[in-house]
A and B are shown apart, each in its own frame.
Chain A
Amino acid sequence: MYIHKLNIVIITLVIILGMLVSACKKKETTYYYEVPDAAVTGSSVIKPNQKSTLEYVSILYADLMGQSIPQPELTRMVTAYEAFGDDRIIEDLIIRNLLNRQDADIPTTPEMRANPTQFVDAMYQRFLVRKPNDYERMYWVQQIQQDTSLHPDILYYAVLTSAEYRHY
């Protein structure tokens, strides 16, 4: 009889203890997030070769003016390169010179704002010879939409002076 009562006490204690332990456990909840259907590239863009001076100015001219660079113009640009010790400075001045020309092929601001996504895709394809990934596209479109002071020439200037544009 005594043993029976002891068993009941022990069983009761075990149940109470079990309840206490289970009460300390945090209830686990599983959340399910909807992953958007976005293409994500595995790594950053890799273009191993740096453009030579000749390649750089030739491609730059073709990209901005929509035609091959005439030989006299190419000679003048290369001479300017040779005549100053810092290539970056001459590159910057050449880019700004081309951006300032009436015949440069630059979309208008309304055209850019009418369809920012299309503008960004076209800009990447034209200058960087690739499509932007979704993250890049989202970033540039956001910049265009959020900053009303942005004009196409500012965006072009940013891309043309980037490290990626100097490489292929």
Chain B
Amino acid sequence: MKRRQFIRTAGATVAGIAAAPYILPSGSLFAATGNRRVGHVVFCMFAGGVRNIETVHMNDGNLLPNLITGAGGISPDILGGMTALPAAAAQSLQTFGTVFKEFRYAQGPTGHFNGHTTAITGQYTQVDLNLRERPEKPTVFELYRKHNNPATSALNAWWVSNGLGPYPSLNYSNYPGYGIGFGANMIAANSLVNADAYSVIGNTKNFTDPQLAKAAALRDFLDQQFKTLTPDSARLNTASDETRLKLFINSLYTKAFSGQFNDPLQTGPGVMNGDLYNIAFAEEVITEFKPELLVVNLQGVDVCHSNFTEYCDNIRKSDYAVRHLWDKIQATPGMANDTVLIVAPEHGRNYDPNTLIDSYGRRAFDHTGDASSREIFCLIAGPSSVVKQNQLISTNMGESIDIVPTIAWLLGFDSAIPSGLLPGSPLTAAFN
């Protein structure tokens, strides 16, 4: 070996040995340099396809009195179809933050799955609905869990899905280098907390701790004898976290049996729908885990394909649900005044109606990709030290793909994300 080559090799070896203790689990040499603005982010997808015309433009009155500041009674012709809800809060969430009135879902099919995928990955996608197909690009959960420093368990990242179909698959992607090991816990509680699910996963055999330890030892023996050609897949949760999650599921059943979910959001009888229940379950996740990143969706407004008046009523219910979620955050020690809430639809809805007419004489609307179906809003609320308060931005500013970079920026792992992976930018106009 030549002297110069020897010195080069020896130098590299010494440098490697010296640096090894500082290499993070993510593979980065240094910790993320970004600063955390808040400890928690909750992103509520006001989904199902909602038009700006009915929300921020208030064409039929202010259907979002808890979110957006504005007077204006509901149009008299549909008033009879509106459910009686608890009075709106004295101050709308706009008071505690910034509203991007002309936000855009700028590209891709205006389908629910595409809209959800875009909002959760920060990438427009052309992929058509494909049941149980995971996103092609990393989700915000994986970006958070891989690049946040220190690394956190999946108990800190939650996807609370209103329904089944393709949506549960949004908790992690197929993207190389990411995947289940960096994914979020997902719960579609409307499908999990009911008598059918209880009959197959409730009423379980209870083993004592020594019995569980013995079973684990026996299982370890079996596993040592076993080899498979398929590589061990990464786990979403650690063994201890799995135990905690099982207890959480059991606690949901216990609450359901004791009637605690009969009126969880204090709406009164006959008001609850899937959206309101999903928010109620998101609040259960907040109570139990205080996650640093939680994404929850609503979808009830999709009834607009056939019933415009019920769509307006469901917008009001979603408005109430989001306000309840905000109040829950502010009532939760550890999250109060340290959480940013982001609210945005996944896409809009057509300007022109379809042929269906509801019992109040209103025409229904689909979402097939016209300009109106790309017009959405975005509300960002949080501590006054972080979020600009009571700001209404009426110019065309911000896109769906900016939400993930904004979450990364707020939680301080933005600079650790490989450059070029996210096309969007943080919505800095909303922040101090």
A and B assemble together: yes
Chain A: residues with CB nearer than 8 A to chain B? 43-50, 73, 76-77, 79-80, 82-86, 88-90, 92-94, 96-97, 99-100, 136, 139-140, 143, 147, 149-150, 153-155, 157-159, 161-164, 167
Chain B: residues with CB nearer than 8 A to chain A? 154, 159, 164, 168, 171, 183-189, 191-192, 196-197, 199-207, 210-211, 214-216, 218-219, 221-223, 225-230, 235-237, 242, 245-246, 249
A73 to B188, CA, bound (A): 19
Chain A residues with Cβ under 8 A from B201's Cβ? 80, 90, 93-94, 97
A-B contact pairs, 25 of them (CB 8 A): A43-B227, A44-B225, A47-B228, A49-B230, A76-B199, A76-B200, A79-B196, A80-B192, A80-B197, A80-B201, A83-B192, A86-B242, A90-B201, A96-B206, A97-B200, A150-B214, A155-B218, A157-B205, A157-B215, A158-B219, A161-B215, A163-B228, A164-B225, A164-B226, A167-B228
Contact present for B186 and A84 (CB under 8 Å): yes
Contact present for B225 and A45 (CB under 8 Å): yes
Chain A residues with Cβ under 8 A from B211's Cβ? 149, 154
Q: Which of A45, A48, A82 contacts B188 (CB 8 A)?
A: A82
7 extra interchain contacts, Cβ-Cβ under 8 A, other than A83-B168, A86-B185?
A45-B227, A80-B200, A83-B192, A93-B201, A149-B211, A154-B207, A162-B223
Contact present for A93 and B226 (CB under 8 Å): no
A153 to B235, CA, bound (A): 26
Contact present for A48 and B203 (CB under 8 Å): no
5 cross-chain pairs, A with B, having the tightest CB-CB distances, nearest first: A85-B186, A96-B204, A158-B218, A93-B201, A83-B191
Closest Cβ–Cβ distance, residue A112 to chain B (whole Å): 14
Contact present for A85 and B242 (CB under 8 Å): no
Chain B residues with Cβ under 8 A from A93's Cβ? 201-202, 204, 246, 249
A47 to B191, CA, bound (A): 33
Contact present for B219 and A92 (CB under 8 Å): no
